Amino acid sequence: MNDRVSEETGPGVANKALESFAEQSTEFMALMGRLQAVALRAQETAKAKASGEDFSIVDFRSVAEAYLRSLPAFFERPLASFESMQRFWLDWAQAWQDAWSGEGGKVSDKRFRDRRWNADPMARGLRDSHLALERATESFLARLPTGTKESLRVKFYTRQLLSALAPSNFLALNPAAREKLLETEGRSLLDGLRNLVDDLERGEGRLDIATNDPSAFVVGRDLATTPGKVVYENSLMQLIHYEPRTETQHKRPLLFVPPWINKYYIFDMRPENSMVRYMLDQGHSVFLISWVNPTREHAALSFEDYMKLGPLSALEAMEKATGEKRFDILGFCIGGILVTATLAWLAARGDKRIVTATTLATMVDFTDVGEVGVFIDRDRLEALRVHMADTGYLENYHLQDMFSMIRENDLVWSFHVMNYLMGEKPPAFDLLFWNADSTRLPAAMLLWYLEKVYIENGLRKPGHLSLDGTPIDLSKIDVPFFVLATKEDHIAPWTSIYPTTQLLSGEVKFVLGGSGHIAGVINPPASRPKYGYWTRNDYPESSADWFAGAEQHAGSWWPEWSAWMEAHDDEERVPARVPEKGGLKVIEEAPGRYVQAK
C-alpha cells in the first residue's frame, strides 16, 4: 500500500509530467513549423494591404490624414486639452488607489465580467485604469467637430486602438487566462496556438478569427430544413416554394427577398426560430429567393439585374405556380432596399401586383449611416473599382471584417480571448454560423449601389435613380408598408430607418425591435421572451420624439407583424398550395444547389 502511494506521489508523477512535457513539446514544434509556413504569407498580405497594393477596408492614408486634419481642434483650446489630461491622470491614480484599498467594485463591461478581475488588486487596477483611459479619451475627442468624416475616423480608430490595448487581451494581464494556463499545465496555451495557426491557414495568411464551430451545423440537415421545392431558377437565383403546414392558406402568396451578402437561410434557421416556418403556420403560402454566390462570370450583373432576375422574375414564376396575380413581399437588409426600389419602379409603371410590403433592418435614407461611413467614400470606391477589375467581385471576408470592427469587443476581441488566450473553441451558435457563411458581391452591382444609393443617397431623391430606364420616386409607393428596425443595430441604425415613415405616401407601420441587426430580427415567440419591441400609432418627424412616446411590449414582434398582415387581408382562404401540384415543374428539393455553393 505504502509502496503504491509512494509511486503515485513520487517517480510516477514525475514520469507523467515528463511524458506530458514531451508530448506538448512535440505538438509545439509541429505547430511552429505550420506557423512558420504561413507566417511569410501573412507578412506579404499585411504588407500589400498597408502599401495599397492589395485592397483593404482600412485606408491607412485617409486615417493618417484624418488625424492630421483634426489636430487644430485641440490646439485651438490648449487649456481645455490640458484639463482633460489632468483629469485623466487623477482618475487613473484614483483607480489604482481604490484597487489596492479594496474599494474597486464590479463593472458591467463584458470584457471584465469574470470574478477574478475583481478578486486580485493588480487585475482591478489594470481594469479600472484602462476604463478610466477609455472614458477620458472619449471625453477628449468629444470636442472634435461633429458630422465630419475626419472626426468619425479619428474617434473610430482611436477606439479600435484602445480596445486592442485592453488588459483582457494579454495573457500576462488576464487573470482568467493565467489561471487556466496553470490549471491545464500549459495545454491552454498550446491549444490557443493551434487555434491561431488554424485561423491563419484558413485565411491563407489573413487572420480569419473563428467565431463559430464550422462543424456544428450542416445546411439542409440542421439549418434550412423546412420542407420545400425549388420550382424556378435563373442565373442569379433559385425560387423555393415551401410545403404548406395548414389545410388552407391566404389567397395572396408571400415572397421573401433575403440579402445577398449572406445566404437565404437567415429566414429558415432551426425549426424553433424559422421565420418561414412561422409564417407557414399562420397560413401563408411562402416563396423565397435563394441567391447565387457570384463568381467572375457574374461581374457585370447590375442592381437592375438583381431586380429583374430577382423579385420581378419571382413574381412571374409565382403567378405561374399559383395562378394568383397579387402578392405580399418582404425584404431584409439590402434585400429590403431592393424591395423598396422595386416597389417604386412598379409604382412608376402603374403595376399593382404588390398589396403589402415589409422591410426588416432596411435603410433607404443614408444621411446618417453610423460608423459604416468610416469605410466608404469616393476614394475607397475607386480603390474598389481597381480591385474588382481583376477579380470581378468583392471577396466575402471584406464586409465581415468591416462589420466586426464596428463591434470590435464583441466580434473580434472576445473571440481573441476565447480562442487564443483560453485555448477554447467557439460554441455552436446558429446565427454566428450563418453570419460566417457570407457570399461574394459582383462588381457592377456593388459599385453602382455604393455610389448611387450610399454616397449620393439617391433613393430618397425623387427621380435621381433610374432602373431599367424608369426614374423612381419612393413617395409614389402607396401600398401598406411594415417597417422593422432594431434598437442596437450597428449596420443599419434605427434612427436612419425611421425616415422611411416620412418618405412613403401609403400607410406605414413602424416597429422598433430590441437587440441588433440579426438577433433583433430573428426573435421568435418563446416561453422566455427576449428583447421586446416598441410601437406607436403616429410618426412625428423626429425619431427621438417618436421613441419618447412609444409603448414598449414584451416578447417577439413576429405576432405583431402577423396581425398586421391579417388586418390587410379580407379575402377568403384557398386550399393549401402544394409545390408538386402547382403550375411549375419541381427542379429539386429545398434548400437547393445555390445555397450550398462556396
Average pLDDT over residues 282-306: 97
Higher-confidence residue of 495 and 100: namely: 495
Side-chain-side CA neighbours of 313 within 13 Å: the count stands at 20
CA distances in angstroms from 201 to 36, 187, 315, 425, listed in the order given: 11, 21, 43, 16
Residue 450 has φ and ψ, to the nearest 5°, of: -65, -40
- Confidence band of 54 (pLDDT split at 50, 70, 90): confident
- The catalytic site residues sit at 333
Is the per-residue pLDDT at 88 higher than 80?
yes
Average pLDDT over residues 31-43: 89
Among 328, 261, 265, CA closest to 482: 328
Higher-confidence residue of 477 and 99: namely: 477
Average pLDDT over residues 276-285: 98
Higher-confidence residue of 185 and 3: namely: 185
Beta bridge partners of 533: 513, 553
Is the per-residue pLDDT at 3 higher than 60?
no
Calculated CA dihedral for residues 559, 562, 566, 568, nearest 10 degrees = 120
Is the per-residue pLDDT at 1 higher than 80?
no
Q: Is the peptide bond before 258 cis (omega within 30 degrees of 0)?
A: no
Average pLDDT over residues 95-106: 81
Render pLDDT for 344-362 as a digit per residue (tens, 0 to 9).
999 999 999 999 999 999 9
The structure's pTM equals 0.92
Lowest mean pLDDT among 80-89, 294-303, 329-338, 412-421: 80-89
Among 434, 556, 422, 398, CA closest to 114: 422
Q: What is the model's pLDDT at position 14?
A: 62
Percent of the chain predicted with pLDDT > 90: 77
Is the per-residue pLDDT at 6 higher than 50?
no
Is the per-residue pLDDT at 9 higher than 90?
no
Q: What is the model's pLDDT at position 122?
A: 93
- Confidence band of 568 (pLDDT split at 50, 70, 90): very high
Render pLDDT for 497-549 as a digit per residue (tens, 0 to 9).
999 999 999 999 999 999 999 999 999 998 888 899 999 999 999 999 999 99
H/E run at residue 510: strand 508-513
Q: What is the model's pLDDT at position 10?
A: 59
Rg of the Cα atoms in the chain = 27
Residue position matching grid coordinates 442569379:
236
Is the per-residue pLDDT at 420 higher than 90?
yes
Is the per-residue pLDDT at 50 higher than 80?
no
Q: What is the model's pLDDT at position 80?
A: 77
Render pLDDT for 185-229 as a digit per residue (tens, 0 to 9).
999 999 999 999 999 999 988 999 999 988 899 999 999 999 999
Q: Which range, 69-78, 104-113, 389-398, has the best average confidence (pLDDT)?
A: 389-398
- Confidence band of 17 (pLDDT split at 50, 70, 90): low
Render pLDDT for 446-467 as a digit per residue (tens, 0 to 9).
999 999 999 999 999 999 999 9
- Confidence band of 147 (pLDDT split at 50, 70, 90): confident
338 Cβ contact list (under 8 Å, min separation 6): 257, 303, 306, 307, 310, 311, 331
Is the per-residue pLDDT at 579 higher than 90?
yes
